[in-house]
A and B are shown apart, each in its own frame.
Chain A
Amino acid sequence: MKLDTLASWARRLRARDISSRELTELYLGRIDRLDSQLNSFISVTPDLALAAADAADERLARGEAAPLLGLPVAQKDIFCTFGVRTSCGSKMLDNFIAPYTATVVERMNAAGAVMLGKTNMDEFAMGSSNETSHYGPVRNPWDPERVPGGSSGGSAAAVAARLVPAATGTDTGGSIRQPAAFCGITGIKPTYGRVSRYGMIAFASSLDQAGPMAASAEDCALMLNAMVGFDPRDSTSVERPAEDFTAGLGADLKGLRIGLPREFFGEGLDSDVRAATEAALAVLRERGAELIEISLPNSGLSVPAYYVVAPAECSSNLARYDGVRFGHRCDEPRDLMDLYTRSRAEGFGAEVKRRIMIGTYVLSAGYYDAYYLKAQKVRRLIADDFRRAFEQVDVIAGPTSPETPFRLGEKSADPVQMYLSDIYTIAVNLAGLPGLSMPAGTVGNLPVGMQLIGNYFDEARLLGVAHQFQQETDWHARMPAAFV
């Protein structure tokens, strides 16, 4: 059977051309057959999935039309799901069965989505290659020797290999966009506050934002419709009038001003990635967009500022994993201090520990002003750069990552090299803006992603631009040969 997009599956389900059970069994079968090559799922939940599919089929039979009714999806294992292990990619939570469900998952379930399982990820979403997962690395479906990106690497690989038509991701510094680019799919990180963070295990609270990952912009729009919305359980959630992100997909690009930040095309950018990006930009220009060179002068400060703010918040957010109430507890603790130190030493991996230590350091008395406070000031400068840019242009574009997927283990020994993989995505989180990555070409067999950055709450425009691009190109429709 042809592996269709989420949008066309939705149409076929409504036309009763296929049942949700058949669709669910199709994808569960693919996971069963193919995921051993990828390791993209931490937990597969076939019983829950089939029950949800049957329920969806009943609703479909009654003529109901919930937005995701009967559609199979996967949830990143960072979202709490009642009764299902929610590990966050960590040994610390290997035994954690969530006693409640995240708002995003609740909303998608209410919209009729059928969850097939929970996807692999970097431990506590800290990583750019999916190699920090306690459950082992995920492999890139385009080349099993290469990483899928991270931290939403499981979701990206699963969607790219069509083990599921769409999945959720979360993005703190690029964790939706960079793996989407590495795996040749589309993913969008919405404006901070668009999607509720309740039940999404926190890494860096002021940066974390959930979003959809799917083959096309249209599929992402469909998913995003179900994910967004004010949540009284999240104080940082924003109250906005309801919006249909699929409504504006047809808008043409005539007169659209696209800003190209000089800093995103400079030193450090792989020349093949640059060429692919420029070719993609030419497509947009042909469809009527105007390309304007701009500058984001403080973007060079975004990686250092991020690696102060994010670890600071994570050092505090991860303090609750102390072996007292839930999660990993060391055997036979001698006393309280032993319980704390051994439970945490055993439960956390190296990258998580590194970030907890950095965060603890930058918040310490005597260092707070020099690091944390200064990073917050830099953050304001970076947001100001974007504010000025959006006075000039409608959308900002550039490469999502400076390179194509690297080899497993290639950067494991050098955290700074790993951190630079997110050099173009991090500023977007620091400013709280929406950012999208879409397949824009290839280098050899490997996908190249292009990033589109929008002004606050301008997700519909980003999705529209990507959709128009996808009308003209077929990068998003290509599948890795091993999974066809």
Chain B
Amino acid sequence: MEWETVIGLEVHTQLNTVSKIFSGAAIAYGAEPNRQACAVDLGLPGVLPVLNAAVVEKAVMLGLAIDARIAPRSVFARKNYFYPDLPKGYQISQYELPIVEQGHLDIDLEDGSRKRIGVTRAHLEEDAGKSLHEGFTAMTGIDLNRAGTPLVEIVSEPDMRSAKEAVAYMRKLHALVRYLGISDGNMQEGSFRCDANVSVRPRGQTEFGTRAEIKNLNSFRFVERAINFEVERQIDLIESGGTVVQETRLYDPDRDETRSMRSKEEANDYRYFPDPDLLPVVIHPEDIEAARRRLPELPDAKRERFITDYGLSAYDAGALTSSRELADYFETVATGCGAPKLAANWVMGDLSAALNRAGASVAESPVPAGALAQLLSRIQDETISGKIAKEVFDAMWAGEADADAIIEARGLRQITDTGAIDAIIDEVIAANPSQLEQYRSGKDKLFGFFVGQVMKKTRGQANPAQVNVRLRARLQGD
């Protein structure tokens, strides 16, 4: 039987506010346990939550960016359950009335087509603390630094049909929150993580199969592998006569498998009800317009602009707008050197390769955008060839100096004086009479030999285009 995979994602994004969603405590990562937890975060008797307005602004920006409806009135609710790192015995979240509803995100598929993924809702909530098991014997430590960290949970429709689509959606969303500047998107620190709802059904069937929810996937690779494992597990199960049960599963990256965590029967009854300590969040049309004015250029719009303004291919424009930092870098280089295509080739080629080797992000590049623009300008004005430019780039990467200084110091300036080039060509021809003979009797391939000899004699500094034209003329024997 042919099976179809159905995937919906719940992405949890940590908002990059200064303080927590309901208290004034800081949310910086990596502090000593319980040093960033105030009375409110500890859930002491008598404390009350007060909503951080910055959290609402960021959620509205997200809603606008995914073309969603911003609820004029949304309500915080309590999700009640006991857990040691949940200090109040409930999590403040949004339930029946979330702040953002009915948006969508377009993803690019491998065949070049686009697909629209529905976003059911996005709601605000507080994160819980952390249980610490290492360094304790017969006990568990509790760190409440993370308790009260603002999260927005973005829930998609079950619109994805493969692990690759799920990853494309998650990447797109990741780029978006970073474009918007509402989250640092740091996946190692858990600032961007997702739960995947996965089911399979025979192709052509309209009803969904029973789904399993895979919790807490914090890398794109894990999302893809966990979904692929889960799809195979469900198909194998059904094909061998079993049935999928609705349950929560955990992905174990070491074993590359998912394991049952709890079944539907064991699931909590969260007893949601509106939090009486908090007023409904009321958002006026003016607030929405103010947020709209604060929106930066979004990835899709930027991509279109790169195609029209810079004449880039759809593929290149897509790759260069995959992150705001990369797009900004590219644009600085392109406008600085005046050659967008050259800039695109360098940014996606030599620069990206060097960054990958170093495991660095574009923001950490030792060659800043302005410096690369200077280098490319030297190609443009024919001071150096593209080939020499690679040598200069390596020296810049190593921190030697800027492009002009390296070109001067190493004497890499290109030879463009036709007289000088002709003289060298003549020398080469004179030194290789037998090759000249063969070339002239029809062995065209020897042209490359002569080019090589000329370049060698000029230590690569002769202008290659000029060499080509003049050498061919000389070899023709005129």
Q: A202-B46, A326-B44 are in contact. Are A364 and B271 (CB under 8 A)?
A: yes
Asked if A319 meets B46 with Cβ closer than 8 Å, knowing A205-B277, A206-B276, A324-B142, the reply is no
Structural contact, B89 and A322, CB atoms closer than 8 A: yes
Q: B44 touching A99 by the CB < 8 A rule?
A: yes
Q: Which of chain A's residues have a CB closer than 8 A to the CB of B277?
A: 202, 205, 235-236
Contact of A100 with B44 in the complex, beta carbons under 8 Å: yes
Q: CB of B220 within 8 A of chain A?
A: no
Known: A200-B46, A365-B269. A319 touches B80 (CB 8 A): yes
Q: How far is the CA of A100 from the CA of B38 in the complex (A)?
A: 11
In the complex, B158 has a CB within 8 A of chain A: no
B46 touches A102 (CB 8 A): yes
Tell me if B90 is interfacial: C-beta within 8 Å of chain A: yes
How long is the Cα–Cα vector from A315 to B47 in the complex, in angstroms? Answer: 16
Q: Is the CB of B45 within 8 A of A201?
A: yes
A336 touches B84 (CB 8 A): yes
Chain A nearest CB from B347 CB (Å) reads 48
Distance A315 CA – B88 CA, assembled complex (angstroms): 11
Residue B42, interface by CB 8 Å: yes
Cα–Cα, bound, A202→B277 (Å): 10
Q: A183 within 8 Å of B by Cβ?
A: no
Contact, CB under 8 Å: B48 / A316: no
Chain A residues closer than 8 Å to B276, beta-carbon distance? 204-206, 236, 313
Q: Is A265 an interface residue (CB 8 A)?
A: no
Q: Is the CB of A324 within 8 A of B84?
A: yes
B142 touches A199 (CB 8 A): no
Which residues of B from 251 to 297 have beta carbons under 8 Å from A? Answer: 269, 271-273, 276-279
Q: Which B residues are CB-close (under 8 A) to A324?
A: 84, 87, 142
Complex Cα gap A319–B81 (Å): 8
Chain B residues in 8 Å Cβ range of A320: 43, 45, 87-89
Interface residue? B420 (CB, 8 A): no
Contacts of A316 in B (CB 8 A): 78, 80, 89-90, 271, 273
Within 8 A of B (CB), among A352-407: 360, 363-365, 368, 372
Q: Which of B45, B78, B88, B89 is in CB contact (< 8 Å) with A96?
A: B45
User: What B residues does A360 contact at CB under 8 A?
Assistant: 271
Question: A355–B48 Cα gap in the complex (Å)?
Answer: 22
Bound CA span A236–B87, Å:
22
Contacting B at CB under 8 A, from A70-108, are 79-80, 86, 88, 93, 96, 98-100, 102
Closest to B78 in A: A316
Does the CB pair A232–B46 fall under 8 Å?
A: no
A235 & B49 in contact (Cβ 8 Å cutoff): yes
Give complex CA distance A340, B47 in Å.
22
Q: How far is the CA of A312 from the CA of B45 in the complex (A)?
A: 18
The 4 closest A-B pairs by CB, nearest first: A319-B89, A206-B276, A363-B271, A205-B276
Q: Can you name 13 extra interface pairs (CB under 8 A) apart from A199-B47, A234-B50, A235-B278?
A: A80-B45, A86-B45, A96-B45, A99-B39, A202-B46, A204-B276, A233-B50, A235-B51, A315-B80, A316-B89, A319-B82, A320-B88, A365-B271
The 29 listed contacts between A and B (C-beta, < 8 Å) are A86-B45, A88-B45, A96-B45, A98-B45, A98-B46, A197-B48, A204-B276, A232-B50, A234-B50, A235-B50, A235-B51, A236-B276, A236-B277, A236-B279, A316-B80, A316-B271, A319-B82, A320-B45, A320-B88, A322-B89, A324-B87, A324-B142, A325-B87, A325-B142, A336-B84, A363-B271, A364-B269, A364-B271, A368-B271
